[in-house]
Amino acid sequence: MIAVGLYVHVPFCRTRCGYCDFNAYAGLDDLAPRYVRALAAEASLVAPAWGDARFTTVFVGGGTPTTLPPTSLERLLAELRAILPIDDDAEVTIEANPETVDEGSLGRLRAAGYRRLSLGAQSFDRVVLARLERGHDPDAVGRAVRAARRAGFDNVNLDLIYGVDGEGLASWRETLRATIALGPEHVSAYALTIEPATPLGRQVADGLRPAPDPDVQADMYEQACELLGAAGYRHYEVSNWARPGFECRHNLGYWRRHPYLGLGAGAHSARGPARWWNLRPPRAYLASVEAGSPPVGGAEELTSEQIELEERFLRLRTREGVAPDGLDPAVVDGLVDAGLLERAPAGLIPTERGLLLVNELVLALVPQRPRAPATAG
């Protein structure tokens, strides 16, 4: 049996944030009942191809899955367990925005088998939240974390974004301190990136909003390393910190290049050299599944050279590092001397600075940089 991750995409949101480039939509709530049924139907369509698998992790992401009512999320997980060989002790994560949950809904989710909660906090600064067009205030994050604890969640992640215009180092430091004070087991902190096709990307292109300052973002990254490290969080991937034993098993599967199955509109799957992805528009996805056809929108097959390069790229994003085999010793020595790599029994490990400059590190070690799969907190 092979260990596999299961990703389930729920594309619905209450509002669409201007920086977001995910396959997410506001105003399509009328599709939700059909969509939940389609997820189970898609699982049934693809299950025979995964008969030799055991699903060790499940990640329900979006979008905002908790815009669905708890009854739908309860039924969804139960149906997926009935269709696919999901381990009894699988890590089951659900993403949520703070304003979409309370103790009652979280209690139902925890009782249904969701074991890990990933909250989109983003910031504890009202100005920054407004710039990001988030629908909650800073106090809502604390309320959601406390409600999650009362509901029985003992594995909580907080997602943060840094480098927003109007956010200074002092503001970011206070966000980090507020995060640590809430005591989550896991923290994901992402530098704001500008995607051209988003409203924010168009505003930046038109000169209406400034682009993030990479030097300021680098300073913010160093602050995150400093404060989270001092609070006992291990920096195990470029954008992820965890208390020992609470690393996200699902995302570790991506970075270790394990197989994964994606269900839902736009979801990606991979197994061996093969990759494929579903139709992105929710209505096109629904039409395909409801007609009894797998909703595949495209596919590709990697060469052995591409697989080797991708494995190195993904492992250099983590503190697991890479084996030195096949690497130019002179280049390696230079990267070690520059403080970007360190030698360890497990191989070559990126330093904190190496993780910050991971793209440069990869370009120095491999001829080209493959595309990384999308992940979440």
- Label the pairing between strands 12-13 and 25-26: parallel
Would you say residue 149 lies in a domain?
yes
Kindly state whether residues 100 and 223 are assigned to the same domain. Answer: yes
Which pLDDT score, from 0 to 100, does residue 377 have? 59
Q: What is the CATH classification number for the domain harbouring 36? A: 3.20.20.70
Would you say residue 375 lies in a domain?
no
Final residue belonging to a domain, choices 254, 287, 319: 254
Number of domains, the chain:
2
Kindly state whether residues 229 and 331 are assigned to the same domain. Answer: no
Kindly state whether residues 211 and 90 are assigned to the same domain. Answer: yes
Which pLDDT score, from 0 to 100, does residue 19 have? 84
Final residue belonging to a domain, choices 191, 225, 254: 254
Kindly state whether residues 213 and 325 are assigned to the same domain. Answer: no
Global model pTM greater than 0.85: yes
Kindly state whether residues 336 and 187 are assigned to the same domain. Answer: no
371 has a pLDDT exceeding 70? no
| pLDDT band at 369; cut points 50, 70, 90 | very low
Kindly state whether residues 18 and 146 are assigned to the same domain. Answer: yes
Would you say residue 89 lies in a domain?
yes
d(CA 180, CA 157): 11
Would you say residue 293 lies in a domain?
no
Kindly state whether residues 314 and 197 are assigned to the same domain. Answer: no
Q: Report the b/e string of 324-341 with b at 16+ CB within 10 A.
A: eeebeeeebeebeeeebb
d(CA 144, CA 124): 13
**DSSP string over 293-325:** S--EEEEEE--HHHHHHHHHHHHHTBTT-B--T
**Contact present, 171 and 128 (Cβ < 8 Å):** yes
Find the mean pLDDT for residues 96-123: 97
Determine the structural domain holding residue 311 and report its residue range: 304-369
Would you say residue 285 lies in a domain?
no
Would you say residue 274 lies in a domain?
no
**Contact present, 104 and 145 (Cβ < 8 Å):** no
Q: Tell me the per-residue pLDDT of 25-70, one tens digit each, with 9 for 90 and over.
A: 999 999 999 999 999 999 999 999 999 999 999 999 999 999 999 9
Kindly state whether residues 245 and 326 are assigned to the same domain. Answer: no
Would you say residue 270 lies in a domain?
no
Find the mean pLDDT for residues 333-345: 92
Kindly state whether residues 165 and 101 are assigned to the same domain. Answer: yes
Q: Tell me the per-residue pLDDT of 314-329, one tens digit each, with 9 for 90 and over.
A: 888 898 888 888 788 8
Would you say residue 289 lies in a domain?
no
Kindly state whether residues 246 and 331 are assigned to the same domain. Answer: no
- Label the pairing between strands 341-344 and 240-242: unpaired
